[in-house]
Amino acid sequence: MARIAAARKAAFHPAPFTHLVAVSKTVDEAGISKALEAGQRLFGENRVQEVQGKFPALKSEYPDLQLHLIGPLQSNKVKDALALFDVIQTLDRPKLAQALATGRDQSGFCPPLFVQVNTGEEPQKAGVMPGEAAELIALARKLELPVIGLMCIPPAGQDGAPHFGFLQKLARDNGLDQLSMGMSGDFEMAIRFGATHVRVGTAIFGAREISAL
């Protein structure tokens, strides 16, 4: 939190507020409890199944605990995801938009959404290609899905700055004001580009097993 505050102070145009999403994938309930005791309430997770296992008890103890889905969502898990998450950051394809709209019609609820953009155009990575992002945002709006922002994960080992700058412009061009970008290694840079949400795992919880990345 102190590092976020310092980065905001140093930034020319920080977002009005920067939320810390504590990425707790692979962290067990005891580890998450410690963060809750320290006052953290917003957590990011990658897998529906892992959340179903870890969070029910924690959520009943801390009713204001919030969960963001930051990993890829399969269409057949949409129903579960709608029941579990307060925000879904990984809308990345038309088929998923359709599935979310159908799920919303059945459950009566869809949380705020971010569109994930594959800014590095990496074939193995989730996210809509930059050239197709506007079209996906338009489709989501046509389906009356609550898209509020954009999310990206720059290529590992690359300077994040051009990716953050690109995402900021893409959001502005599409009338979106929330930006989920920046991880343990580069969240200070992302804040300079107006991040409203930084997703920080290892800098809070320590290193994960490589196999769990």
Ligand X SMILES: *Cc1c(COP(=O)(O)O)cnc(C)c1O
- Angle, vertex CA 7, rays to CA 21 and CA 200, nearest 5: 25
Closest chain position to ligand X (CB)? 201
CB of 47 to ligand X, least distance (A): 10
> Is-contact 178 208, C-beta < 8 A?
no
Kind and range of the H or E element at 149?
Answer: strand 147-152
Q: How far is the CB of 25 from ligand X (least distance, A)?
A: 6
Q: Which is nearer to ligand X, 23 or 101 (CB)?
A: 23
Nearer Cβ to ligand X (96/200):
200
Cβ 81 vs Cβ 111: under 8 Å:
no
Whose structure tokens read 């929330």? 178
Q: How far is the CB of 63 from ligand X (least distance, A)?
A: 25
**Shortest separation between residue 13's beta carbon and ligand X, angstroms:** 23
Compute the least distance from the CB of residue 60 to ligand X, in Å: 26
75/184 with CB nearer ligand X: 184
Give CA–CA dist 56/83, Å, rounded.
12
CB of 142 to ligand X, least distance (A): 27
Taking the least distance from each CB to ligand X, the nearer of 28 and 144 is: 28
DSSP state of 77: G
Q: 106-144: b or e for each residue (b if 16 or more CB lie within 10 Å)?
A: eeeebbbbbbbbbbbeeeebebbebeebeebbebbeebe
CB of 71 closer than 8 Å to CB of 47: yes
Give the DSSP H or E segment for 91. strand 87-91
Residue closer to ligand X by CB (options 51, 101) is 51
The nearer residue to ligand X, 71 or 94, going by C-beta atoms, is 71
Residues near ligand X (CB under 6 A) = 23, 25, 46, 70-71, 153, 183-185, 199-203
